[in-house]
Structure 1
Amino acid sequence: MTARQKALIIDDEPDIRELLEITLGRMKLDTRSARNVKEAREWLAREPYDLCLTDMRLPDGTGLELVQYIQQNHPQMPVAMITAYGSMETAITALKAGAFDYLTKPVDLGRLRELVNSALRLRSPAGEEVPVDNRLLGQSPPMKALRRQIAKLARSQAPVYISGESGSGKELVARLIHEQGSRGERPFVPVNCGAIPSELMESEFFGHKKGSFTGAIEDKQGLFQAAHGGTLFLDEVADLPLPMQVKLLRAIQEKAVRAVGGQQELMVDVRILSATHKDLAAEVAAGRFRQDLYYRLNVIELRVPPLRERREDIAELATVMLRRLAQECEAPPATLHPEALEKLKSYRFPGNVRELENMLERAYTLCEADEIRPADLRLAEATGASDGAGASLAQIDNLEDHLEEIERALIMQALEETRWNRTAAAQRLGLTFRSMRYRLKKLGLD
């Protein structure tokens, strides 16, 4: 017979303890109860638990002290904080300290059951490095540290802000946090905030009812509803217009959304992960991003290192990428000439891993005898494109051609960053859509 899972409940109010004991008992959990920090520590010393629920205010201390104590002494056990209604700062402090999640009083039983089920789905002990199936490559110290952080953050429900340069792998990091956590079998919904027209943004995020506006011919589910039970990844979140930032903040705080044209709010259980290549703190300082939303999204920041900070990983990345290219083309794999590898290691890679992949794909097509030599990499072209006006006069045979190459490279970069959404790429470059269409046609990219 399988042993029942156990939960420790810490609250000085008898009614709350009884409510939690009954609810968890109906979920087939054994429970132990404590009225204060002292009793909680005694229970924790006596036997192991699968879950802990603690009130914030206790007679002889705070729930925050218990969260920190559990993090140090029982890191494998998820602990959730129970806070007073509206105490968002307290909840955020608890999440930063290592709490799995939080509940507000009065306790919503449906939300409680969801939280308990999520906590009990966690498998691996905190701090254990989970295999990442050859997607997050590299054995450099920054990448080993990143994998450890991903494994740790996967055990929490805290919002995570993923910072890093374009092409460094922010969406992959978000997917791994989702997959390794308790929501791994639920939906992962990525959305590029810069690719949605502002007039359709509310409908895209929250859904709409039939007839709510011209063109709404049927009810539509929003991104929050699609991600219910799972994770919503807000990529390029700095591109959200200010009016939408207000609505997004309310949806995150209330854990509820209202469809355009709808009368009732719908409760949603969604973990928020966000990312942008911009400096979000600088966007706040410039007045382009709301400070309250920034603090709500940036509960924990995770920085993805650029490729130039982990040059020792380039050889492994290149080997795996060339092997993948060969499989896709059903052709023999190419090898990198030692001099070509050294060239790659000395290049700055402003486009990071994505640029390396594009560079190797081009070189694989151009190389002879299945060996990529320095000339096949065309690093002089890449340097000219990334440095813009940095080319010397001696390198320029024809100014018009040189400027056209720079323009082509920048447009390609904008298209890749926006997943080939032309409207979003035009916005990124400060062009009208008509001007963007003209340039694509002129450069043969249409």
Structure 2
Amino acid sequence: MSDQTTAPDDQPDAPNDPWLARAHILVVDDEPGMRNFLTRTLTPRCARVEAVENTAAAGRLIDASHFDLIILDNKMAGRTGLEWLAELRRDGFFTEVILITAFADLETAIEALRAGAADFVLKPFRTKQILNAIARCLDRAALRRENFVLRRQLGASPEPEKPGRLVGTSPQMARIREMVARAAATPTTVLITGESGTAKEITARALHDQSPYSAKPFVPVNCAAISSEIIESELFGHVKGAFTGAASSREGLFFYAQGGTLFLDEVAELPLALQAKLLRVIEDRKVRPVGSDREVPIDVRLIAATNADLSEEVAAGRFRADLFYRLDVFRIHLPPLRDRPEDVEALARMFMGQISAQLGLPPLALDDETLKRFAAYPWPGNARELRNRVERGLIMGAFDVPHVEDAGEAETDDLSELEKRHMLRVLDAAGGNRAEAARRLGVSRKTLDRKCAEWNA
């Protein structure tokens, strides 16, 4: 039996909320009049509205596709809304829920909060009331996701890759911009390859910004920076009591990227056991929070990146072949800076403008001699090394212009030998501290350890 058999018919303008127009909303109420009222109210204002009469039908819908918000009646025949909501939360279902009821008392309100309702609206309500409640929930959820992602970015690395543009006049960069534009228009999984410092995250952001997902979150994840013990929980979330220390349920990064893009950087560093689970997520478009029996639908565009040769990793048994083929649908390879010296000047000028503004320092002149020396240098650390050189020059007030021989390239053109020399030189400069050397190189500690083992260093 429904709480309320009629609904008000006033229709004032909706709140000016940017998330409302993109929202997918599910209405669960056993009274046809209320379902019809909410459907008429929300359909012209939202991306998608579904309305069902009971929790069984609602369960089938949320098992099949993602919803940003559920408007849930409490008093229904069979199971109450609160009982169903409590069950969903125990199973790791994190979508926002507004409980509507005609029987409002303190006990019901407390139960609603304990069960995980985001808001509580008393029937009968005016159109503006429910629209304001929806706007509050969507805004709160968006802010929570943005704050979570920002905290991760700030805590993940002392030197996160800075947002920017795909800069350069070389034929290689023109081709990359063309590939980004083509891939951005589709939901296809993209694999970005290239050496450390070649702006893989910037390329991923460009894909996101040019895509239909651009209004939704871009969530970058450095797979090498998360320990193997917690990475499954970080990606998929967990329910209360799933493991020691899981005092409450928590959303995973796939949830925070819902409707947007999840960028898995250094994907080759994922543990093999998790690779199998990631493959299933890609194929089924569902994630299972740790400790839950329920799979939650996701709508996420996946971009992966690596500086490793995944074919070699597959041959060595360190990366699953089936996951490699699932990720390698559309590949964008970023060439090293030494192969496109004509891009050095544009990058240096961009970095100069960005960093001088950030540091509050006047820009240094990039004279012909400096630019000539920059163009001749092989930049083993790629664009990241160039950026660091510009920043150091701004702080010191003059450029320490590199020479070709500084990179150890005078005697060899072998790229693996150049990589070895550069990494060992940085390790030596860091006093043998591998964690610090990995930070300076822009690679994971695991990658540096593996390289040192190969070189018996």
Q: Is the 8 A contact 1:162 1:302 kept in 2?
A: yes
CA distance in 1: counterparts of 2:247 and 2:66, whole angstroms: 37
Q: CA deviation at 1:387?
A: 5.2
Q: 1:211 matched to which residue of 2?
A: 241
CA distance in 2, matches of 1:206, 1:309: 39
Structure 1 residue 144 corresponds to structure 2 residue 174: yes
Letter in 1 for 2:183: L
* 1:32-67 Cα shifts (integer Å, max 9, x gaps): xxxxxxxxxxxxxxxxxxxxxxxxxxxxxxxxxxxx
Aligned to 1:163: 193
Asked if 1:359 is matched to 2:396, the reply is: no
Which of 402, 405, 413 in structure 1 is aligned with 2:429? 405
After TM superposition, give the deviation of residue 406 of structure 1 in Å.
6.7
- The structure 1 residue matched to 2:311, chosen from 281, 284, 302, is 281
Aligned to 1:246, the other structure's residue is in SS state: helix
Moved more, 241-250 or 330-339: 330-339
Where 1:377 maps in the other structure, the secondary structure is coil
Structure possessing the higher relative contact order (Cα contacts under 8 Å, 6 or more residues apart): 2
User: In 2 relative to 1, CA 265–146 (structure 1 residues): closer, same or farther, beyond 3 Å?
Assistant: same
Residue 404 of structure 1 and its aligned partner are, at CA, apart by 3.7
Distance 1:299 1:324, change over 3 A: same
TM, length-normalised to structure 1 = 0.59
- Aligned counterpart for 2:449 among listed residues 396, 408, 430: 430
TM-score by length of 2: 0.57
Query: 1:193: Cα distance to partner?
Result: 0.9
What is the aligned partner in structure 1 of residue 301 from structure 2?
271
Q: Verify the 8 A CA contact 1:349 1:356 in the aligned structure 2.
A: yes
**Aligned pair in 2 of structure 1 residues 240, 144: CA closer, same or farther (>3 Å)?**
same
Shift of 1:246: 0.7
Q: 1:178 aligns with which of 187, 208, 220?
A: 208
The 3-state SS of whatever aligns with 1:145 is helix
Measure how far apart 1:248 and its partner are.
0.8
Which residues of 2 match residues 5-20 of structure 1 at below 5 A?
A: none
In structure 1, which of residues 290, 299, 302 is the aligned counterpart of residue 332 of structure 2? 302
Pairing 1:179-258 to 2, within 5 Å after superposition: 179-258=209-288
Q: 1:317 — aligned with what?
A: 347
Cα distance per residue 1:333-357 (max 9 Å; x no partner): 1112322221111111111100000
Q: Identity over aligned residues, as a percent?
A: 43
CA distance, structure 2, for counterparts of residue 148 and residue 224 of structure 1:
28
* Alpha-carbon offset, residue 318 of structure 1: 1.1
Distance, in Å, in 2 between the alignment partners of 1:109 and 1:240 is 27
**1:383 is aligned to 2:383:** no
Contact persistence 1:384–1:406 (CA under 8 A): no
Question: Is the Cα–Cα contact under 8 Å of residues 334 and 364 in structure 1 kept in the other structure?
Answer: yes
Q: Is 1:415 matched with 2:439?
A: yes
Q: 1:111 to 1:152 in 2, by over 3 A?
A: farther
- Aligned residues of 2:262 and 2:300 also touching (Cα < 8 A): yes
Q: Secondary structure at 1:335's aligned position in 2?
A: coil
Judged with a 3 Å threshold, the aligned counterparts in structure 2 of structure 1 residues 164 and 402 are, in CA distance, closer, same or farther, namely closer
**Counterpart of 1:429 in structure 2: which amino acid?**
L
User: Which runs of no fewer than 5 residues in structure 2 stay unpaired?
Assistant: 1-42, 45-60, 69-162, 410-416, 451-457
CA distance in 2, matches of 1:108, 1:199: 29
Q: Which moved more, 1:326-335 or 1:294-303?
A: 326-335
- What is the rounded CA distance, in whole Å, between the counterparts of 1:157 and 1:235 in structure 2? 18
Pair 139,235 (structure 1): closer, same or farther in 2 beyond 3 Å:
same
Q: Cα 1:143–1:359, aligned 2, differ >3 Å: closer, same or farther?
A: same
Q: Distance in 2 between matches of 1:233 and 1:340?
A: 36
- Pick closer, same or farther for the CA change 1:110–1:389 going to 2, 3 Å: closer
Q: Give the whole-Å Cα distance in 1 for the aligned partners of 2:419 and 2:312.
A: 24
Partner of 1:260: 290
Q: State how far apart, in whole Å, the 1-side matches of 2:396 and 2:327 are.
A: 44
Per-residue Cα deviation, 1:284-339 (whole angstroms, up to 9, x for no partner): 11111101000111111111121112111111111221222222232321112322
1:192 to partner: Cα distance: 0.8
Q: Distance in 2 between matches of 1:138 and 1:227?
A: 30
CA gap of 1:273–1:134, structure 2 versus 1, over 3 A, is closer
Structure 1 388/145 Cα, relative in aligned 2: closer, same or farther at 3 Å? closer
Residue 47 of structure 2 corresponds to none
Aligned residue type for 1:149 = M
Report what 1:87 is aligned to.
none
Contact 2:194 2:333 in 1 (8 A): yes
Matches within 5 A, 1:21-60: none
Q: Which residue does 1:329 correspond to in 2?
A: 359
AA partner of residue 314 (structure 1)? V
Give the 3 Å change call, closer, same or farther, for CA 278–150 of structure 1 in structure 2.
Answer: same
Which amino acid is 2:447 matched to?
Answer: R
Q: Is the 8 A contact 1:168 1:307 kept in 2?
A: yes
Q: 1:344 to 1:408 in 2, by over 3 A?
A: farther
* Structure 1 pair 264–160 and aligned structure 2 pair: CA distance change class (3 A): same
Name the count of aligned residue pairs. 290
Residues of 2 paired with 1:253 and 1:211: CA distance? 28
| Aligned residues of 2:196 and 2:442 also touching (Cα < 8 A) | no
Structure 1 residue 413: deviation in Å?
A: 4.9
Q: What one-letter code is carried by the residue in structure 2 that aligns with 1:405?
A: A
Counterpart amino acid of residue 280 in structure 1: L
Residues 153, 367 of structure 1: CA spacing in aligned structure 2 closer, same or farther, 3 A cutoff? same
